[in-house]
């Protein structure tokens, strides 16, 4: 296979991958803040309103997430709504939910 043909195939593959990325899912989940777990990325942990554990990757959140990162023990048990979007995480090889914003909820 010549280099021009290989380059064209590679370019088409990149474009097709980019098209799939344009339709990322977004949503929000309510629950209780459990804590922050550190791995390859920081994971924002909650227990949702059905009692199920849920985790969100922290990449580029807004300022509402910072107090939870700074002092997770103080905010543990706080009722919250996590706004998230799915993003491809290279190390995971799949799309995962990433936290974009957190709102505190009344008890």
pLDDT tens profile 49-107: 899 999 999 998 899 999 999 999 999 999 999 999 999 988 888 999 999 999 999 87
> What is residue 6's predicted lDDT score, i.e. its pLDDT?
37
CB 29 within 8 A of CB 46: yes
91 exposed, middle or buried (CB, 10 Å; 0-12, 13-18, 19+)? Answer: exposed
H or E stretch including 3? helix 3-21
The CATH number assigned to the domain with range 25-104 reads 2.40.50.140
Q: Which of 43, 47, 41 is nearest to 78 (CA)?
A: 47
> What is residue 106's predicted lDDT score, i.e. its pLDDT?
86
pTM of the complete model: 0.75
> What is residue 23's predicted lDDT score, i.e. its pLDDT?
65
Q: Which of 42, 26, 40 is nearest to 82 (CA)?
A: 26
54 exposed, middle or buried (CB, 10 Å; 0-12, 13-18, 19+)? Answer: middle
The string over 34-53, giving b where at least 16 C-beta atoms fall within 10 Å of a residue's C-beta and e elsewhere, is bebeeeebbbbbbeeeeeee
Whether pLDDT at 38 is above 90: yes
Please tell me which residue, 40 or 104, carries the higher pLDDT value. 104
Whether pLDDT at 9 is above 70: no
> What value does the mean pLDDT take over residues 12-17?
40
């Amino acid at each position: 296979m010549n280099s021009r043909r290989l380059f064209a195939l590679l370019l088409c593959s990149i474009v097709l991958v980019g098209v799939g990325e344009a339709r990322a899912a977004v949503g929000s989940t309510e629950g209780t803040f459990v804590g922050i777990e550190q791995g390859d990325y920081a994971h924002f942990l909650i227990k949702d309103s059905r009692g199920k554990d849920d985790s969100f990757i922290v990449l580029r959140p807004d300022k509402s997430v910072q107090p939870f990162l700074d002092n997770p023990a103080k905010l543990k048990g706080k009722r919250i709504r996590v706004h998230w979007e799915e993003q491809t995480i290279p190390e995971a090889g799949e799309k995962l939910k990433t936290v974009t914003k957190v709102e505190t909820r009344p008890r």
